[in-house]
Amino acid sequence: MLGQYLQEVRKKAPLIHNITNYVTVNDCANILLACGASPIMADDKNEAAEITAICNGLNINIGTLNERTIDSMLSAGEKAAQLQHPILLDPVGAGASAMRTATAKKILDKLPITVLRGNISEIKILSTGQGIIHGVDANAADRVTEDNLFEYMKIASQLAGKLQTIVAISGEIDIIADKDQAAAVSNGHSLMSKITGSGCMLSALTTAYAAANQQDIFTAVLAAFCSMGIAGEIAANRMTDLDGNASFRNYLIDAVYNMTAEQLDTGAKYQLMVYND
């Protein structure tokens, strides 16, 4: 079933506008090409809205935020909203500085964000106003485990209802939630946390899946998360004794490039909770 969502990405080849950080920008472009989408990066206010208008989805990532790009994010976001393009916000490092936290909140407040995709500490800080983040990485104390999973799924779903968005939390176990349901994805490999940008790439990929599957964005996000996790497992399997995190990064992109709909269908590992209240 999820494989169809990948097929739609390949068929429609959505063009994704990325306003993103300068650490992982090239990886974001390559992961979009790998899944069958196309990237364009453009972060000047004078062209942000115009670029968004020729695209099918907008990926806003605050990883290397500066005063200038905040305006570009809002301007592109307003245009994307007018055109009913999906908009994803990756609140990289929310909680690490007052500027990041305030900007993530401002974007959530001013734009109809379709998907909020971050690690558990970023999401926790944005929802409760409290917590500690380890730079751009999740705080180990916030980890989603088998023991707290159902509690976190419910909280994610409540937050999704409050923000009127899909909340998508990455980590060893990923959680994707809207106000009525939450899915927990157990695909992935610990090496994914040893490269920078696995989260940024996931956000770019998720924007492409959402843009190509607008009729069911929740399932599109689920498919994107499963495909990234499966790619991580395939990449880890290819590692030799001399390989390190640089090779892993390449193997991960290669696995997204070579992924088939069948691989996604058979490899996806998730459980779904539907809430009635």
Ligand X SMILES: Nc1ncnc2c1ncn2[C@@H]1O[C@H](COP(=O)(O)OP(=O)(O)OP(=O)(O)O)[C@@H](O)[C@H]1O
For residue 92, the minimal CB distance to Mg ion (Å) is 5
H-state helical runs in 140-197: 149-163
Task: Tell me the C-alpha distance between 91 and 107, whole Å.
Answer: 9
User: Of all residues in this chain, which one has the CB nearest to ligand X in the complex?
Assistant: 199
CA angle 237, 243, 247 (to 5 degrees): 80
Query: Per the annotation, does 197 bind a ligand?
Result: yes
- Strands, DSSP E only, in the chain? 15-19, 38-41, 57-61, 87-90, 115-119, 166-170, 174-177, 181-185, 270-274
Q: Tell me if 136 contacts ligand TZE by CB under 6 A.
A: yes
Q: Tell me if 64 contacts ligand TZE by CB under 6 A.
A: yes
23 binds, among Mg ion, ligand X, ligand TZE, none (CB under 5 to 8 A by kind): ligand TZE
Task: Tell me the C-alpha distance between 4 and 35, whole Å.
Answer: 13
Q: Tell me if 197 contacts ligand TZE by CB under 6 A.
A: yes
Task: Tell me the C-alpha distance between 91 and 152, whole Å.
Answer: 19
The pair of three-digit structure tokens given for residue 245, joined into one six-digit string: 């995190």
- Range in contact with ligand X (rule: CB under 6 A) among 38-46, 150-158, 167-175, 176-184: 167-175
| Residue closer to ligand X (CB basis): 119 or 219 | 119
Q: Which stretches of the chain bind ligand TZE, using CB under 6 A?
A: 21, 23-24, 63-64, 92, 136, 196-197, 199-200
Q: Which stretches of the chain bind ligand X, using CB under 6 A?
A: 92, 119, 136-138, 170-172, 174, 188-190, 192-193, 196-200, 202, 228-229, 232
Numbered residues of the known binding site for ATP: 117, 170
